[in-house]
Amino acid sequence: MLPKMSGLEVCKILKSDRVTRQIPIIILSAKATEADRLRGLELGADDYVTKPFSPREVVLRIQAIERRRTAEIEDEKLVCGLITLDPVRHQVAVAGKPVRLTMAEFKLLTMLMKRAGRVHSREMLLSGAWGYEAVINTRTVDTHIRRLRDKLGKASSTIETIRGFGYRLIAEP
């Protein structure tokens, strides 16, 4: 019951786009008929919760979706252009040729590939790859990205620098 566009239309648009289809969607609605619930799920919603609902239930449903998505992601190889990353086997290849990465480089590349097309701040990358909270301005991320680019060779241009903010892995169609 959003103005100008229904939530179901938003769901349909997000799930039909390659860049946004992996975004989990939970529909929270006052529409409680079976037809409404089925329609939402058919259009790609991961869950459909009708009012009234408890906030705790919604949080638990979100956690359940995240557990399923994490298990799916860990089982899948990530591919972006010439780069293939296998998180289960901890392997990376460029154009089919293996590339040896350090743990930090592997974590950085994994973060970028899991959310290809989205900008990652240096602080997000620092926190995700090393587990630190950025209290000071550090160039650690920049140094590791430079080394990662060197190792990726002809696929290095896939990692785009966003001046003054961070990095993005260019999502290819």
The more confident residue out of 139 and 106 is 106
- For 66, the token pair is 């995240």
Which pLDDT belongs to residue 152?
A: 94
What integer is the mean pLDDT of 105-125?
89
CATH 1.10.10.10 assigned to 78-169: yes
Which pLDDT belongs to residue 138?
A: 65
Q: How confident is the model at residue 116 (pLDDT cuts 50, 70, 90)?
A: confident
What integer is the mean pLDDT of 9-29?
85
Q: Are 65 and 46 in contact (CB under 8 A)?
A: yes
Q: Which amino acid is at 107?
A: K
| Partners of 98 in beta bridges | 93
In the chain, domain spans: 7-73, 78-169
End-to-end distance of the chain based on CA atoms, in angstroms? Answer: 32
Fold identical between 7-73 and 78-169? no
Superfamily of domain 7-73: Response regulator (3.40.50.2300)
Model confidence pTM above 0.85: no
Q: Are 158 and 117 in contact (CB under 8 A)?
A: no
Write the DSSP symbol of residue 158: G
Q: How confident is the model at residue 66 (pLDDT cuts 50, 70, 90)?
A: confident
What integer is the mean pLDDT of 148-164?
92
